[in-house]
């Protein structure tokens, strides 16, 4: 009986590895959003789950309530990995405590999920400016620019102004939605090329405009 249970756990272990590293499902390529100007990622992945908290100033949340609510909705759709663990009969766990503990440790390591993980959203401060260098500092000189920093501690969305923050959380929302919560450690930088974004519609091409 014990040998059978051990074999089952071995099979589950390899299934977990297959799900986590199935690159044809979870690619490091960004989804079409359209693509930001600069994005670089490592091979270390992070799973953002439904327990992830969004931390932002109340002024930002009041300015863009729909955007923050949409991000919260995407998070709620993700599985609560930090709460879930292997379920089994308590008698089996008592018989094989080391096997169960080892299996849960492997799952936590593969999923790279940290309790109390958070998404920090804010406008670039003077203190931030003094710490940033290179491409990040240059990118955040633009109006409406944003920087998404994904690490094992947290995800930071920093905008040069409130509209930069809006674009940043919108991009992050789409990334989380497309990848089902699996993201890679790294950063995303983007900014607009033009000060004014305009849309020109030539209505006469589709017929005359009614006057009454």
Residue 176 lies in a domain: yes
Question: What pLDDT band is residue 23 in, cutting at 50, 70 and 90?
Answer: very low
Q: How many domains is the chain partitioned into structurally?
A: 1
Which CATH number fits the domain that encloses residue 68?
3.30.379.10
Model confidence at 57: pLDDT above 80: yes
| Structure confidence by residue, pLDDT tens digits, 186-210 | 999 999 988 777 777 776 655 665 6
Residue 114 lies in a domain: yes
Instruction: Label each residue of the chain as H, E or C.
Output: CHHHHHHHHHHHHHHHHHHHCCCCCCCCCCCCCCCCCEEEEEEEEEECCCCCEEEECHHHHHHCHHHHHHHHHHHHHCCCCCCCCCCCCHHHHHHCHHHHHHHHHHHHHHHCCCCCCEEEEEECCHHHHHHCCHHHHHHCCCCCCEEEEECCCEEEEEECCHHHHHHHHHHHHHHHHHHCCEEEEEEEEECCCCCCCCCCCCHHHHCCCCCC
Instruction: With respect to residue 207, please indicate whether it lies within any of the assigned structural domains.
Output: no
Is 27 a domain residue? yes
Q: Is residue 202 part of a domain?
A: no
Q: Which domain holds residue 130?
A: 2-192
Residue 212 lies in a domain: no
- Residue 209 counted as domain residue: no
CA-CA distance, 111 to 79, in Å (whole number)? Answer: 12
Per residue in 120-156, pLDDT (tens digit) is 999 999 988 888 889 999 999 999 999 999 998 999 9
Q: Is residue 141 part of a domain?
A: yes
- Percent of the chain at pLDDT above 70? 62
């Amino acid at each position: 009986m014990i040998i059978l249970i051990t074999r089952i756990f071995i099979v589950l272990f390899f299934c977990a590895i297959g799900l986590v590293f199935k690159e044809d499902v979870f690619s490091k390529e960004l989804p079409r959003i359209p693509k930001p100007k600069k994005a670089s990622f490592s091979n270390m992945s992070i799973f953002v789950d439904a327990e992830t908290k969004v931390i932002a100033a109340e002024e930002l949340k009041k300015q863009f309530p729909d955007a923050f609510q949409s991000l919260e909705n995407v998070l709620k759709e993700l599985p609560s990995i930090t709460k879930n663990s292997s379920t089994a009969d308590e008698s089996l766990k008592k018989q094989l405590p080391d096997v169960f503990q080892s299996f849960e440790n492997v799952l936590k390591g593969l999923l790279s999920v940290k309790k109390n993980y958070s998404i920090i959203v804010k406008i670039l401060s003077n203190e931030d400016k003094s710490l940033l260098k290179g491409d990040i500092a240059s990118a955040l000189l633009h109006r409406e620019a944003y920087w998404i920093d994904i690490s094992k501690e947290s995800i930071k969305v920093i905008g040069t102004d409130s509209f930069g923050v809006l674009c940043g959380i919108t991009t992050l929302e789409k990334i989380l939605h497309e990848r089902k919560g699996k993201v890679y450690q790294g950063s995303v930088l983007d900014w607009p090329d033009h000060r004014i974004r305009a849309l020109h519609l030539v209505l006469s091409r589709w017929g005359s405009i009614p006057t009454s």
